[in-house]
Structure 1
Amino acid sequence: MNAVFKLILSDLKAHVNADENQGLKFWAMVFAKALLSPGAHAGIIYRISHQLWLNPITRPLSFVLKYFSVIYCTAEIYPSAKIGPGFCVSHSQMVMIGNHVQIGANLRISPGVLVTSDAGAVSTDARKGIPTIGDNVFLGMQSSVIGPVHIGDDAAVAAHSLVLKDVAPNTLVGGAPAKLIKVLDASLDRHYTQK
């Protein structure tokens, strides 16, 4: 359970500007996010439900928590998804992360984002067609990532985009379907990346 607490703390820190860096104001803001932010609540509920999902005996409880998150936060994050530390849901409205999705560290996600497999349309295999997302990725408002695509590290997806093909690292993509808009400077220190 100590590992879950560390993940929750890293998620809460991701909601606060890293420039504040560990002072009293920083920790007050982390505490406020834990109490008041539905996006932070969605992340906390996911972390607990994922831990419950790992044990076959407690797995049914993980789905109860998932449905509570849908009602309370309007975020549906499947307990079987694997999400790295520093997970930040800036606003939880209509966020959906599907079964078995693999996500790296420091994902920043906006309202209305959908990340899911395409398996429902073509197969009964829940693990077929699953997206993977690298580290330090930003998903803009109402963007969708569908199917067996990989989004590389330090990439950004613009608002209202539909990602159906792989996204290279250090790139900004946008549109429906998403296309390369620009290559990002790899040396930039993204403000949402934890140190």
Structure 2
Amino acid sequence: MKKVVFERPSKIKYTIYILRSVFSIEFIKHLAYLFVYFIINFTRGRCIAKIGVNTKLHPTVLMREAERIIIGDNCLINHNNVLQAGKKDAKIVIGNYVHTGPNVMMFAYNHVFDDPHIPSKNQQYYEGDIIICDDVWIGAGSIILAGVTIGKGVVVAAGTVVNKNITPFTVVGGVPAKVLKIRE
């Protein structure tokens, strides 16, 4: 490793860089892609998912295969959440009074990687329903994997990877999720 001296561009040069970027064909193309991506993954998803009354979804929530996503009443799905139902049949079913922190991800499918002679990208998928019962709090950055049921009243600590069923009224945390305590 060697030490280098970094000279920042002047404000005028920096402004010119920005203006060149904003008024380029490449910028317009990427802006169009972002717009289409938003329409497909949020607006369309919000229209076809079943969403209960008084439920709030942040505009940056992405819902894929949204026809298989069901969200109950009085929920809060925070910013940058990704809800990906299964590729064919698996659903994401979220109960009432569930709230998530930012950057929570739920994947009701996973890649098969059984055959080492075929790239995993070209293999099929495993899928399983994700069921989240009522009154669950899922902390920021947690990941919920396919085939998992999270019981009523569970608290999932930030950054937890939930790869197995969680019994009601427990607090879980870690990678993979482990019971930290029971809610009395």
- Per the normalisation by structure 1, the TM-score is 0.55
Query: How many percent identity over aligned positions?
Result: 25
Moved over 6 A (4+): 42-45
Residue 168 of structure 1 aligns to a residue whose secondary structure is coil
- 1:116–1:130: 8 Å Cα contact kept in structure 2? no
The answer for the alignment partner of 1:82 in structure 2 is 70
Number of aligned positions between the proteins: 122
Alignment of 1:15-164 (within 5 A): 46-50=45-49, 73-78=59-64, 79-80=66-67, 81-89=69-77, 91-92=78-79, 94-99=80-85, 100-121=91-112, 124=124, 128-164=127-163
C-alpha distance in 2, partners of 1:104/1:121?
29
The higher relative CO (CA closer than 8 Å, separation ≥ 6) is in 1
Please, which runs of 5 or more residues in structure 2 have no aligned partner? 1-40, 51-56, 86-90, 114-122
Please, which runs of 5 or more residues in structure 1 have no aligned partner? 1-41, 52-68, 186-195
Q: Which of these two proteins has the greater Rg computed from alpha carbons?
A: 2
Higher strand proportion: 2
AA paired with 2:109? D
Residue 97 of structure 2 aligns to a residue whose secondary structure is coil
Residue 180 of structure 2 aligns to a residue whose secondary structure is strand
Deviation at 1:124, TM superposition (A): 4.2
Deviation at 1:180, TM superposition (A): 0.1
Compute the RMSD of aligned alpha carbons.
2.7
- Per the normalisation by structure 2, the TM-score is 0.58
Higher helix proportion: 1
- 1:43–1:88: 8 Å Cα contact kept in structure 2? no
AA paired with 2:169? N
